[in-house]
Amino acid sequence: MVVRSLFARRNTGSPSLYTLSFWLLSTSNFLFSASFSMMIPELPDYLTGLGGREYVGLIIALFTLTAGLSRPFSGKITDTVGRVPVMAFGSIVCFVCGFLYPYLLTVWGFLLLRLIHGFSTGTKPTATAAYVADVVPANRRGEAMGTLGLFTAMGMSLGPAIGSWLAHAYSMNVMFWTSSAFALLSIGILLRMPETLANTQPFRFGLLRLKKDEVFDTQALPPFIVLLLQSVGYGVVLTLISTLSTSLGITNKGLFFTVYTLASLGVRLVFSRSSDRYGRVPVLTLSTALLAIAMLLLIVAQTPVIFWTAALLYGFSSGMNSPTVQAWTADLADEATRGRAMATMYIALEAGIGLGALGSGWLLNHIVGDAGITASFAMSSLLAWVATAYLGWLWYKSRLNLARQS
């Protein structure tokens, strides 16, 4: 059925992004992102304590594996059953997994739970992006994604710091249960959200059978390529930043995430409409170049000053990149398959993070000393430069086409 728009109109007749429904969605995103991110800095040491140091690279890799595999299914369900049920499912997975971590005390039990936990980010972000794109005018998508992303970024920023504090002040179990509680609150908020998909269908298992053209949306190929190359660096950061923090004498291993996310918040506040004004590709070109530079700085981070500078640049890049690539994907997608296009974009995210985590975990265990860390960040920087070159080529092509038409 058709429901009221998420974006009501002011008396001036201009669309407003800031209605009650928008704040509910944003708050749910904050709680969800804080839920799964608060445990990330402490998991490498936790798994090592269980006797699984050689599997540290799998902490992120397994999580992103199921997230990536579930994307085509979440895209199809989002386009048929509805946006809200898929968002709720993702939060439910976070709630259950956070509650169960203290009770699975073997290496293989832990890794199995990480595999299941990945379904959370394989579902909720896909439906959330489609939900927002349903009701936002095309010329304000960058702004809307940026504003919504502020709350996601705040969760990603505060979550790791809260998680590290809880683990050290109380226990790992308290941290896990707090993560579960955040996810439960996220579910409660979603129950108040109106559905934006017209002509919804009831869920049936037959919807999980995918045709070839339902797995990947070719219209989203350019964002897929860019995000795949970019997100390898994020997988490396998630896997190695706690080790690098310890080597520099920084005891709270979640502070890197706090600094880079606060920088991301600042960029979103000031430049939330930049891609709406200047174009998706130009903004992504700049943000990807900043990512490449941040990875280079982490190679030579022998002092906290360089370390924090890298965190700031990484945050600036993330603040511009995330809402822009989402808006770009929505621009390229057909309305009827918007969920599939968003899922395709997120497949790239999960695949890149997983490859970065696996590669850096392998290098950390097979190269003596700090050379494994150096090689991992060097690989991330190189791939980011490749993405920058690809975006530059797309930008040049678009300008050339405009010149020919004029």
Residues 291-311: b if buried by 16+ CB within 10 A, e if exposed: bbbbbbbbbebeeeeebbbbb
pLDDT, mean of residues 315-333 = 84
Residue 5 lies in a domain: no
pLDDT, mean of residues 196-213 = 76
- In whole numbers, what is the pLDDT of the chain averaged over residues? 81
Residue 45 lies in a domain: yes
Residue 326 lies in a domain: yes
CB 388 within 8 A of CB 233: no
What are the angstrom distances between the C-alpha of 79 and each of 74, 134, 334?
9, 11, 11
Helix (H, G, I), strand (E, B) or coil at 301: coil
pLDDT tens digit sequence for 6-39: 333 333 344 555 667 777 888 888 998 899 888 8
pLDDT tens digit sequence for 206-265: 777 777 666 677 888 899 999 999 999 888 888 888 778 877 877 666 678 778 878 887
More confident call, 369 vs 90: 90
Structural domain count of the chain: 1
Residue 1: per-residue pLDDT: 33
In this prediction the pTM is 0.68
Residue 11 lies in a domain: no
pLDDT at residue 348 tops 90:
no
Residue 10 lies in a domain: no
Residue 2: per-residue pLDDT: 33
CA geometry: angle 326, 67, 234, nearest 5 deg: 65
Residue 6 lies in a domain: no
Residue 293: per-residue pLDDT: 95
For residue 265, the number of C-alpha atoms closer than 13 Å in the C-beta half-sphere is 16
Find the range with the poorest average confidence among 5-19, 138-152, 171-185, 297-311: 5-19
pLDDT at residue 382 tops 50:
yes
Residue 391: per-residue pLDDT: 93
Alpha carbon distance 299, 281 (integer Å): 28
Residue 227 lies in a domain: yes
Residue 364, both tokens: 């950390």
Residue 324 belongs to what domain range?
20-198+214-405
Nearest residue to 291 (alpha-carbon basis) of 223, 228, 385: 385
Nearest residue to 104 (alpha-carbon basis) of 159, 69, 52: 52
Alpha carbon distance 134, 342 (integer Å): 12
More confident call, 115 vs 365: 115
Nearest residue to 242 (alpha-carbon basis) of 41, 63, 47: 41
Residue 398: per-residue pLDDT: 77
Residue 31 lies in a domain: yes
Residue 4: per-residue pLDDT: 33
CATH of the domain at 302: 1.20.1250.20
**Radius of gyration of the chain measured on its C-alpha atoms:** 20
Residue 6: per-residue pLDDT: 32
- Residue 378 burial (CB < 10 Å; 0-12/13-18/19+)? middle
